[in-house]
Structure 1
Amino acid sequence: MPNLSELIQQLLERWGLNEFPSWARILEAMDPVAWTLAILLAGAVVLGLFFSLSTRRAFLTPDDTESSPQMLLARLKQDPTRLSPVAILSRLGAEATLELLEYGDQIQTKEWRYQWSGVREDLLRLLGQQNAFGPTYALARYYASDDTQEPDTIRIRRTALVHKLGRRCYLEPNADGRPAQLRIRCHAAEVQGDVGFDGEIFWLMPDEPAPPSDGPLIEMDPIEFRSLSDAELHLHIRRTPMVGGGFRLELQKRNKMWVVVNEDVEWVS
């Protein structure tokens, strides 16, 4: 019985494969068209290898969408516009976003504040739209109002100030160096306390005459409670007699913590 090698040899002879021409004969028989096709095939192979290797290296290099949350947070601290606010919150989560918010409010360079302002507003809006405990707790800590033992009115006013002024609760003096003042219009029964403002504070009754001010001015109206867990607060900020704005903030009490859920601009000058 013939062995396997003999069977293979017989098959090659039957099909004529044992008469495959040598490389020298193949090269001699090639015409210009064949050479062109061979060159194109070789070029395609080279390009395929090049793009395969370059694409692989790109995937192995950490970028904005593939890096770890810690690396992404470090990059966002250098440039907060690197990703959209939606992508930032999705990639970082509430806790790391809180760290970014706290960091961003501390940087006072003009370039950073120009980039940071819009990103911060969108991040606060996105966090306020989420009713889960994690985002709510992160927001309450950012607003420095997570102590549920404090009176609601104090926490609401502090939340509004941080929301509009940032974590420092500070408004720059005017061109003459006059410091900012905060006027709080409140009801007689409202508890007065530390609302976190970095500057002089006046607690006034709704109809009480206000002392004169020659610097930037922040005015807060009495809090309007629509229910035990819904409140509205009007806030006016005047950086100069000609430059300022009026805002209406809607707040909700979630898990015993107050957060801003909506903001409307009433007027601007």
Structure 2
Amino acid sequence: MQELVESFERFWSSLLPDRWPSFNQFVEAMDPVAWTLVALLIGAVAVGIFFSITTRRTFLRADEVEATPEMVLARLKQDPTRLSPVGIVSRLGADATLELLEYGDQIRTHEWRYKWSSVREELLRLLSQQNAFGPTYALARYYRSADNQEPDTLRIRRTALIHKLGTVRHLEPDADNNPAELRIRCHPAEVEGDLGFDGPTQWLLPDEPAPPPNGPVIEMDPIDFRTLQDAELHLHIRRTPMVGGGFRLQLQKRRNMWVVVEEEMEWVS
């Protein structure tokens, strides 16, 4: 036991500062290789500290990892381009994305619409790619097609109208302030109803002549049902006699709710 105590005392005394070599002795003992290793160590520590600080600040500023969905939604309502559409759907989920879609369609300023148009289009595409109940139900509520008591034809046409014009279902008047008009070519047995369009609506038979338009015109062709669950609708938007575009929309019925799953531009002028 006494030998163990003496060994510990000798070890402790060897660690005392007065036994350590002085700074000058350290310097004199260093050779070029040792100095190179010291310089590399100091450089590595400095680089590590620099990148740890700058990387941490960048992530917090750009991605806002600690932000709640409510905070993210509030910021997106100020600028919808703060996150990519994929990031919006993944961070917010279907219900909050629906709230953003509803909000975005109500803002009519040119700056907002310039940013919002492409974001909205991509959000609708991303939600339509998911066959789960949540995204499908969110889309059905956005398209106002969740009511199973309504005829499918009405829900399909309302879905197509909102898909192209937004929930406000409004098309700006022409330069002479003539309001836009909605013309629907339908089968004789098709049930007519209110699509919520902000302007006059005419229901016409496929071969029925229509009067010359006085302003912008939106035309819907008869619905082409491929199956009971799949439909196709051609829609034409003419802002002036020389400016417009034609679109082909494919819709699917998922869980008794109609959603747009594909859009193709057929012509533009």
Q: What TM-score results when the alignment is normalised by the length of structure 2?
A: 0.87
Aligned to 1:237: 237
Cα RMSD of the aligned pairs, angstroms, is 2.9
Q: Counterparts of 1:32-47 in structure 2 under 5 Å?
A: 45=45
Q: Counterparts of 1:23-102 in structure 2 under 5 Å?
A: 23=23, 25-26=24-25, 29=28, 45=45, 48-49=48-49, 51-52=51-52, 55=55, 61=60, 63-64=62-63, 66=65, 67-102=67-102
Query: What letter is aligned with 2:246?
Result: G
Equivalent residue of 1:147, what SS? coil
Q: d(CA) in 2 for partners of 1:28 and 1:220?
A: 88
Please say if 1:142 is aligned against 2:142: yes
- Structure 1 range deviating more: 43-52 or 145-154: 43-52
Q: d(CA) in 2 for partners of 1:264 and 1:57?
A: 42
Q: Counterparts of 1:110-259 in structure 2 under 5 Å?
A: 110-259=110-259
Q: What TM-score results when the alignment is normalised by the length of structure 1?
A: 0.87
* Alpha-carbon spacing, 1:47–1:6, altered in 2? closer, same or farther (3 Å): farther
Which whole-Å deviations, capped at 9, do the CAs of 1:152-189 have from their partners, x for residues lacking one?
11111100000011110000000000000011111111
Query: What letter is aligned with 2:112?
Result: W
Query: What letter is aligned with 1:168?
Result: V
Q: d(CA) in 1 for partners of 2:249 and 2:30?
A: 82
* Alpha-carbon spacing, 1:147–1:47, altered in 2? closer, same or farther (3 Å): same
Deviation (angstroms), 1:21: 2.4
Gap regions ≥5 residues in structure 1: none
1:169/1:198 contact within 8 Å kept: yes
Q: d(CA) in 1 for partners of 2:110 and 2:64?
A: 27
Q: d(CA) in 1 for partners of 2:48 and 2:222?
A: 70
Q: Counterparts of 1:1-16 in structure 2 under 5 Å?
A: 1-2=1-2, 4-10=4-10
Which whole-Å deviations, capped at 9, do the CAs of 1:167-225 have from their partners, x for residues lacking one?
10000000000000011111111111111101000111111111221100011111111
For this pair of structures, how many residues does the alignment match? 266
1:12/1:18 contact within 8 Å kept: no
Deviation (angstroms), 1:5: 4.7
